[in-house]
Structure 1
Amino acid sequence: MIINLFFVTLLAASCSSDDNNSETIVQTSELPSQSKSFLETYFLGYPIVQIQRDARSVDEYYEVRLTDGTQVDFDKNGMWTEVDGNGRSLPTSFIHANIVTYVNSNYPSASIESIGKEIYGFNVDLTNNFDLRFSREGIFLGMEN
């Protein structure tokens, strides 16, 4: 009986809520001004549905979901790290001009569906399911494997 009580107590402790969860829902007012400005400039007309903050993450500190399904990730300082249209074309005015020119010239029937900052530069996903890599200067490096 005592052994059973011990195991029930141990099981209850292991199933308790996760107090170490670093993800929390926050209000727009908690976003850095740089993040707010980015959203107002490039995604005006697409209200924010939800903002999730992950205090443990470096590159996805704020995850912002918009009404059109777009997700924008920001680092702790408010700089965008990834923009994902989730199947929709992204506005390109915030994307390096060399990348936009390359995509328009080489894939005229496709558009940029997501872009993420990487150590080498940028990972760009097109609406035709091609994944491209570019340097920080917007120079084409190759296809994603």
Structure 2
Amino acid sequence: MLTNYFGNQKVALATIESGVVNKSYDVVLQNGTKLEFNKKGELTEIDCKQGVVPVNLIPLSIKNYLQNNYPWQSVKKLEIKKKEYEVELSNGMDLTFNKHFQLIDID
């Protein structure tokens, strides 16, 4: 995944975080992009400090919504939770979608 979407960036730091219940893996790229993966290796968060989240990593329904409603904004952060998706746009807006990709909150 790192090679496909961030091939020109090198890994600056990779860590394993072990909690009482959960384990996660954090990867920080040279440009400051931070990626988090759960214990199964599934992507749970992308935080692009200086770049943007690759469009192919954004669920299609969310991508379509953003193109229709916020065409001039890019996605800086994507957080994938069990029941929702949180998206931070380049203008600072935070959008929350439910697991069916319906918008449920704007902050």
Fold shared by both chains (TM-score > 0.5):
yes
1:83-122 counterparts in 2 under 5 A?
83-122=46-85
Q: What residue in structure 1 maps to residue 22 of structure 2? A: 58
Name the residue aligned to 1:143: 106
Shift in Å at residue 127 of structure 1? 0.4
The 3 A distance-change label for structure 1 pair 58 and 92 is farther
> Are residues 1:79 and 2:31 paired?
no
> Aligned residue pairs: how many?
106
Displacement, 1:93? 0.0
Secondary structure in 2 aligned to 1:102?
helix
Q: Kindly indicate whether the alpha-carbon contact (under 8 Å) linking 1:81 and 1:116 is maintained by their aligned counterparts in 2.
A: yes
Whether contact under 8 Å (2:31, 2:49) holds in the other structure is no
Q: 1:87: Cα distance to partner? A: 4.5
Q: What percent identity do the matched residue pairs reach?
A: 26
Render the CA deviation track for 1:6-45: whole Å, top value 9, x for unaligned: xxxxxxxxxxxxxxxxxxxxxxxxxxxxxxxx21222111
Q: Aligned-pair RMSD on alpha carbons? A: 1.6
String of CA shifts for 1:106-139, please: whole Å, max 9, x gaps.
1111110001012321000000000001122322
Distance verdict in 2 for CA 1:87–1:120, change over 3 Å: farther
Are the equivalent residues in 1 in contact too, given 2:31–2:50 (CA < 8 A)?
no
- C-alpha distance in structure 1 between counterparts of 2:2 and 2:56, whole Å: 12
TM-score if structure 1 supplies the norm length?
0.67
Cα distance in 2 between the residues matched to 1:113 and 1:81: 14
More helix by share: 1
1:67 to 17, 30, 35: 30
Could you tell me how far apart the structure 2 residues matched to 1:107 and 1:139 are?
A: 15
Q: Which residue of 1 aligns with 2:93?
A: 130
Higher strand share: 2
Which amino acid in 1 is paired with 2:100? E
Question: CA–CA distance in 1 between the matches of 2:98 and 2:59?
Answer: 10
Gaps of 5+ in 1: 1-37
